Structure 1
Amino acid sequence: MTMAQTPFIQGHRGFRGLYPENTLLAFEQALKAGVQVLEMDVCISADGQVVVSHEPYMNSQYSTKPDGKPVEKSEEKNFNLYQMIYAEIKKFDTGKRGNSQFPEQIAAEAHKPLLSEVLALGEAYRKKYLRDIYYNIEIKSVEAEYGISQPKTVEEFSEKVWSIIRYFVKPSFLILQSFDFNVLKYWNKAMVEGRFPSEIQLSALVSRKSPENTIKNLGFTPAIYSPNYQSLSPEYIVFCHKNGMKVVPWTVNDAESIERLKEIGVDAVITDYPNRVPHYLNPVKK
């Protein structure tokens, strides 16, 4: 499969360093800043909607209940997105408290959007500015949570996600990533069988697994090897490129590290702060 070269910077959860993560505001501001790859996470609601959210529950760090009270750490799992219809999910605010882990992040009213809304935003931007926009969509799946905070099978989860993507995005602009190798195996099988387009780039998310073991565990060579940037070595990059894989480490937040990774040959980086390396962005000329 021929892999198209995508831009170097991927906006993690939109633009988490400055805006509430995985919200329409964050994705819109990323696009305005010149980010051409929007990275996001998806979960499933009780009524089968594909929701953009990093956790399948309300995170106490920044979520506010409909009554205006903060979500407490002890009650996070009570707000299981897979047990809530989207109309309920939307009533929770995920931006107005800010996020103490990101002191530069603005506090702004926001909520968890649908994947369809994020893709519609990106595609409208593409048409308006004649700009290539890519999407790196992570299926948030954990084997121990099958049937608890997500669908019982990766097949069901994957098909729901694909049913939304297919109506908005050309497959050559899609990266599908996951830490759950069962998800990637399902997508690869569907691509081999011709049920999903072969242009989709599958990305294996790993913490410390070597690229060699990644291929071994998957049973196929993914388009992208996506490790924690701190576990990445120049030898890994050489191995990946020899085996036809791109290297896209996560989540790199200081300019010096981004430049160092560029120098040793990574193909892209995922970052909360695209603004820290503006020379890699492609903002619209006003």
Structure 2
Amino acid sequence: MGSDLAFDLEAHRGGRALLPENTLPAFANALTMGVDTLELDVGITADGEVIVSHERGLNPDLARDRNGGYIAAPGTPFVKLRLEDVRTYDVGQIRPDSSYAKQFPDQRAMPGTRIPTLGELFALVRKSGNARVRFNIETKIDPNHPDEALDPQAFVARLLGLIEAVGFSDRVMIQSFDWRTLRLVQQQAPRIPTVYLTLQRGAAPTIALDKATSWTAGFSPADHGGSLPRTIRAAGGAIWSPYFGDVTEKLVTEAHDLELRVVVWTVNKRDDMARMIELGVDGIISDRPDLLRQVAGEKGIALPAGTPVEP
């Protein structure tokens, strides 16, 4: 993973508070600014193309059709659309009346922006000349909705095949809430670090400390003393990526004792960023990489150099 001791400054979906999420303009902005890692999500189309999208299908808050109208909910899953169909939708501007728009009122609209392929993102990074930025790639599979994506085996095979074909295996991490995909990555590409995403709170937690869930590939913290870090280590993880609100100093210390790195998501406020750094986390995923650079710099963390590039 390069320097294992370095702090990892990650631009969440390319930095979606600034520019449209998971798009080439957002990733170009993050590269120009300077981040350690581009965090992103991928799905696979009906014709096998790996595309960059957080949702498993078209997002009604983002996707506009040829007539300029936002699509109706729910959006069609990508596994049922060909790439040429996906390309017809404009995702450069948030639906104005949506809760998403209220969450990111300062996002700069980029009308005409399309959903990119992962190959196009790799090409953008090569164009930038940045030889050190990494990719934290999330597999968008939900075990509770198997009809909305390829099965884990096919998904992982397609993703790893592309990564290997472009020669980026040494710059990639694979992350997921669906630990089945991570186990497959460990078997098929053991040199690629796996990042175990967890959420313990809210209406839809993915993890429970007393049992296995549909997300955890049969692993239960109850079999590991109720310890989430120990469970992830047993599953073969290299990195634990919890929701930042679930993290304590004790848990960070426990994870480090197990040689797990801890990279928290998604931290957008200055005070929370400072607190996470003080807890000793190894990295932060943020929609505001610009603000994270400021806070990290104030904490004496060496900042990654920018590599200006146009999308």
Is the shorter-chain TM-score for this pair beyond 0.5, marking a shared fold?
yes
Q: What's the CA shift for 1:6? A: 5.0
Indicate if the aligned counterparts of 2:183 and 2:236 stay in contact, CA closer than 8 A. no
- Summarize the alignment of residues 137-216 of structure 1 with structure 2, pairs less than 5 Å apart: 137-146=137-146, 148-151=147-150, 153-190=151-188, 196=189, 198-208=190-200, 209=207, 212-213=227-228, 215-216=230-231
1:95 aligns with 2:84: no
Range with bigger deviation, 207-216 or 221-230:
207-216
Range with bigger deviation, 211-220 or 157-166:
211-220
Indicate if the aligned counterparts of 1:23 and 1:113 stay in contact, CA closer than 8 A. yes
Residue-by-residue CA offset, 1:163-186 (whole Å, 9 max, x unaligned): 111123443321110000111111
> 2:237 aligns to what?
222
1:282 aligns with 2:274: no
Q: What's the CA shift for 1:143? A: 1.1
Other structure's SS at 2:42 match:
strand
Q: What's the CA shift for 1:2? A: 8.9
Q: What's the CA shift for 1:221? A: 3.5
> 1:121 aligns to what?
124
> 2:74 aligns to what?
76
Indicate if the aligned counterparts of 1:49 and 1:114 stay in contact, CA closer than 8 A. yes
Q: Which amino acid aligns with 1:248?
A: V
Match of 1:262 among 277, 280, 286: 277
Indicate if the aligned counterparts of 1:120 and 1:168 stay in contact, CA closer than 8 A. no
Q: What's the CA shift for 1:278? A: 2.6
After superposing on structure 2, the runs of 4+ consecutive aligned residues of structure 1 that deviate more than 2 Å are: 1-8, 96-99, 167-172, 209-221, 277-286
Indicate if the aligned counterparts of 2:44 and 2:155 stay in contact, CA closer than 8 A. yes
Other structure's SS at 1:121 match:
helix
When residues 21 and 6 of structure 1 are mapped into structure 2, their CA distance, relative to the original with a 3 A threshold, is farther
> 1:11 aligns to what?
11
Q: What's the CA shift for 1:215? A: 4.3
Other structure's SS at 1:225 match:
strand
Q: Is there any run of 5+ residues in structure 1 with no aligned partner, and where?
A: 191-195
Other structure's SS at 1:76 match:
coil
Distance 1:230 1:38 in 2: 22
Q: Which amino acid aligns with 1:105?
A: Q
Distance 2:244 2:232 in 1: 20
Indicate if the aligned counterparts of 1:185 and 1:218 stay in contact, CA closer than 8 A. no
Q: Which amino acid aligns with 2:109?
A: A
> 1:234 aligns to what?
249
Q: What's the CA shift for 1:58? A: 1.4
Distance 2:136 2:64 in 1: 27
Q: What's the CA shift for 1:239? A: 0.7
Distance 2:307 2:195 in 1: 32
**CA RMSD across the alignment:** 2.2
> 1:35 aligns to what?
35
When residues 170 and 68 of structure 1 are mapped into structure 2, their CA distance, relative to the original with a 3 A threshold, is closer
Range with bigger deviation, 136-145 or 273-282:
273-282
Distance 2:259 2:270 in 1: 27
Distance 2:110 2:55 in 1: 20
Residue-by-residue CA offset, 1:154-201 (whole Å, 9 max, x unaligned): 1110010011111234433211100001111111222xxxxx2x3311
Indicate if the aligned counterparts of 2:42 and 2:139 stay in contact, CA closer than 8 A. yes
Structure 2-normalised TM-score? 0.81
Structure 1-normalised TM-score? 0.88
Q: What's the CA shift for 1:16? A: 0.4
Q: What's the CA shift for 1:104? A: 1.0
Distance 1:85 1:174 in 2: 26
Match of 2:287 among 269, 272, 277: 272
Distance 2:198 2:39 in 1: 16
